[in-house]
Structure 1
Amino acid sequence: MDEYELQSPMALANFVINFANAEGSPVSNLQLQKILYFIQTAFLVEHGNPIINGNFSRWQYGPVLQEVYSSYRDNGAAEINDLAINVTKDSHDQYMMVSVEPTNEESLGSSEAFTRLQEITRRLIARDPWELVQVSHQQSIWEKYEKQIAVHMAPDYENSEIENEGTEVSYLWE
Structure 2
Amino acid sequence: MQRYTIPAIVLHWLIALLIVAAFVLGLVMTDIPGLTPAKLRYVSWHKWLGVTVLGLAVLRLLWRLGHRPPALPASTPAWQQGAAHGLHALLYVLIFAVPLSGYAFSLAAGVKVVYLGVFELPVLFGPDPALKPVLRAVHYWLDMSLAAAVALHLAAALKHQFVDRDGLLARMLPFAPTKENP
Higher relative contact order (CA 8 A, sep 6+): 1
